[in-house]
Amino acid sequence: MNKKTILSILLLSVMIIISACSNNTKEIEEEEIIEETIEDGPKICTTDYNPVCGVDGKTYSNECSANKVEIAYVGECGAKNAFSEPKKCTREYMPVCGADGVTYSNKCEAGEMKVINEGECKDAPKICTADYSPVCGVDGETYSNKCSAGEVEIAHVGECKTEQETNLKESCEEIEGIWIDTGNECGGISKEQCENLDGNFNECASSCRNDPNAAMCDLMCNVVCQFN
C-alpha cells in the first residue's frame, strides 16, 4: 500500500469522526431545546386524584395541577378527614376580623373562619342577632339578648323589673294571678277611698297596676286588681 492510499484512508477516518461528533452535539442541543420548551410551555399532568389544598384556598386534583401554587396541606380544602400539614402563611400584618371576634394577622391565618371585615376587630361594629332572649343589665336596662347588652354586666336573665313591680312585691300578695293588698306596707283604706274610683287610692292600690282607676275593691274594701 502506497503512501497516497494510506493518507486517503486517514483523511476519510478523520472526516467520519468529525461528522459523528457534530451529529452528537446537534442531538444534545436539540434535547436541551425540547426540555426547555416543555418546562416553559403548558404543564402536562396526570389525571390521578390525589387532592391537595393550596394556600389560595383552592383544591387541586394533585400537586402537579397546583403548578406554582404553594401547598397548604394534603387533602381537599376544608375536608375534615384531610391529612393536615402545618399551614404556611406569610408574616405580613394585614389584619382581618373573624366572625369569632378574633383578629388575625392576615386572611391566610384566618383560615376557614369567615372574615367580617378588614382591620382589627375593635374597629368592627358588633353584629347581633334579632332573637329576643331578654337580659337585665346592672344599669337597669333590658336588652333583647346578651349580645345586645355589649359590655354591660348582666344582672339576671329576663326583663328588668320596674320600680312599680318591685314595690308591688313588697306591698301586695299574688293569689292565683290576682294581686291583693296585704296591708303590711300600705295599711287599711277607708270605704270612701275604695268607692271613689278617681285614682285617690293609697300607695298599695297605685302599685297594683299602672292605671289606679282600674283597681277594684272587694266587699271587705280590700284593693284587688289584675296585675299586668
Show the low-confidence residues of the chain (pLDDT under 70). 1-4, 19-42, 79-87, 123-127, 162-228
Residue 168 Ramachandran class (φ > 0 left, ψ -120 to 50 alpha, else beta) = alpha
Long-range contacts of the stretch 211-216 (C-beta < 8 A, 24+): none
Looking at residue 48, its pLDDT comes to: 82
Q: Would you say the pTM of this structure is higher than 0.85?
A: no
Looking at residue 32, its pLDDT comes to: 53
Report residue 202 as a C-alpha cell: 293609697
For residue 75, count other CB atoms closer than 10 A to its CB: 18
Q: Where are the alpha helices (DSSP H) in 52-153?
A: 63-66, 107-110, 146-149
Looking at residue 226, its pLDDT comes to: 46
Are 144 and 158 a contacting pair, CB within 8 Å?
no
Looking at residue 135, its pLDDT comes to: 92
Looking at residue 66, its pLDDT comes to: 87
Report residue 15 as a C-alpha cell: 472526516
Looking at residue 198, its pLDDT comes to: 40
